[in-house]
Amino acid sequence: MDKGKELLGLPTENPSVAWKIFKAFVLDDQISVTEDELVSYVIDDLKLNLNELPEGMYECGHLTVILLAYMNIWPGWNDIGDFLAGKLKKELYFERFQKFMLHKMSTLQGVYTSAMRGLDDQVAKSPLEFNRSNNKSDPEFCSHAISIQCPAAMLSTIVFSNVGDDVIMKQHLAKALQDLSTTQLLNWPHVEVTFQTEDICFVRRQATEFVRYLNFRVHESNESSQSIIEHVETRCSDGHQENCCYSYTFLEKYMEVYMEALTSTAKVSPSKLEEIQTILSQFLEDVRYIDVNNSIATNTVVLFRLSRLPFIRNKRLMWNNEAEADEPRVGYCEVMTPKIELELLYFRAEQKDTPVISFEHTDKIKASQSTSVILPEISYKCTYCRLEYSGQDSKKKMLDHLKNDHKMEQHVRCILCKKQFSVLNLAACRWRHRCCQSTSTAK
């Protein structure tokens, strides 16, 4: 320690807070700093404007916690040995620390805002809920699941690996996303669709769970979930409609009459018809698949697994040098469980008292002269980027977003039969596959 004190020089009259803390870390000393001192570090040393920080960060006392957390995780602390051995210049070493802190604190905006938004979403949940399953990650394999926050295009390109004693993060090339069919789009991770007419409104959200972690061996677990329904939540009805149950048969009949009405006007383009038909079919399939008395209720959110078994990606960097192959190597694993959150907000179609089954809205469609009256409102949302697309070309806008800002999903492996599948094929058939080892588990 004396060696360190010598290297760090004599204490100056008014050392900056940053220097005080830096020195304490290097010397492994206990020091106490006040909140005011930490705030002055942010203003005077890092030259950040408190007014430009994300809303509430300073007021709620998060600023100092974040500041200390970043100080703690500076990778440069690994070089203390070199510094004490005189291999690193004091000024340069301190400058590196300051640069890291400046970078971390000045790029906080997005990270902090989305973290807080995540918390708000949690709080906004409705009062009544049961059968909540936790995001249960296998404790043996991933006691520390890692959370990745990055631009969407980076998501499927990241891989971690160890070089010597360090774990490094690397990016590899990923294919561009090609055009998706409507079914593929609706079953693609992070895609949400809202379908709304006078009669019916529902939201179908891809809520695929990703658990990411670093590992030394390949994930072999093959536990499957007994129930496909993970969570049911009744929303407070805000005057819309009380909770009502509708049978699959009635919904199917209604949608058939609705599609007939749209087709009969000859004003709706074939591609629009296909889009509407596919959205309705996926909704009906969901209702049948979750199999709750063959019906669905309004004001109820159902979270269910599209596949009982999770899929997995194990990613490792390839070495050219075979000599290194014997070392235990870190891999990066993603466990992916495709899930849907389905919510029927309202269904108000009432059958008219006529010999043929008809409804007020579908009759209106048949008689309508303007396409704007009869077309449903279909909006899409990227739940990862939190971007929403509405209007008549919403599907194209959503596809363009995926093509421009996301990358192709990489292949996944079924955790049970170990077969590899392309996400394109899985999304086309609601993530079903013929599982060779068990017919009962892959529904």
Residues at the interface with Zn ion (CB under 5 A): 152, 382, 384-385, 414, 416-417, 435
Nearer CB in complex with Zn ion: 178/294: 178
Distance in Å, CB of 256 to Zn ion, minimum: 34
Nearer CB in complex with Zn ion: 21/416: 416
d(CA 222, CA 414): 9
How far, CA to CA in Å, does 43 sit from each of 98, 171, 430? 13, 34, 52
Distance in Å, CB of 223 to Zn ion, minimum: 13
How far, CA to CA in Å, does 184 sit from each of 271, 311, 341, 383, 426? 15, 17, 16, 16, 8
Return the exposure string of 29-64: e unless at least 16 CB atoms fall within 10 Å of the residue's CB, then b: eeeeeeeeebbebbeeebebeeeebbeebbeeebbb
Q: Which residue has the tokens 């170990």?
A: 418
Q: Which two tokens stand for residue 79?
A: 């070089």
Nearer CB in complex with Zn ion: 8/382: 382
Distance in Å, CB of 437 to Zn ion, minimum: 7
Nearer CB in complex with Zn ion: 40/383: 383
Nearer CB in complex with Zn ion: 197/307: 307
Distance in Å, CB of 398 to Zn ion, minimum: 9
Distance in Å, CB of 399 to Zn ion, minimum: 11
311-315 sheet: strands from edge to edge:
209-215, 331-337, 311-315, 412-414, 420-421
Distance in Å, CB of 251 to Zn ion, minimum: 30
DSSP for 31-78 reads ----HHHHHHIIIIIS---GGGSPTTTTTTTHHHHHHHHHHHT-GGGG
Nearer CB in complex with Zn ion: 23/205: 205
Q: Can you state the angle between helices 62-72 and 108-123, rounded to 10 degrees?
A: 120
Distance in Å, CB of 307 to Zn ion, minimum: 9
Nearer CB in complex with Zn ion: 339/361: 339
Q: Which residue has the tokens 């570090």?
A: 41
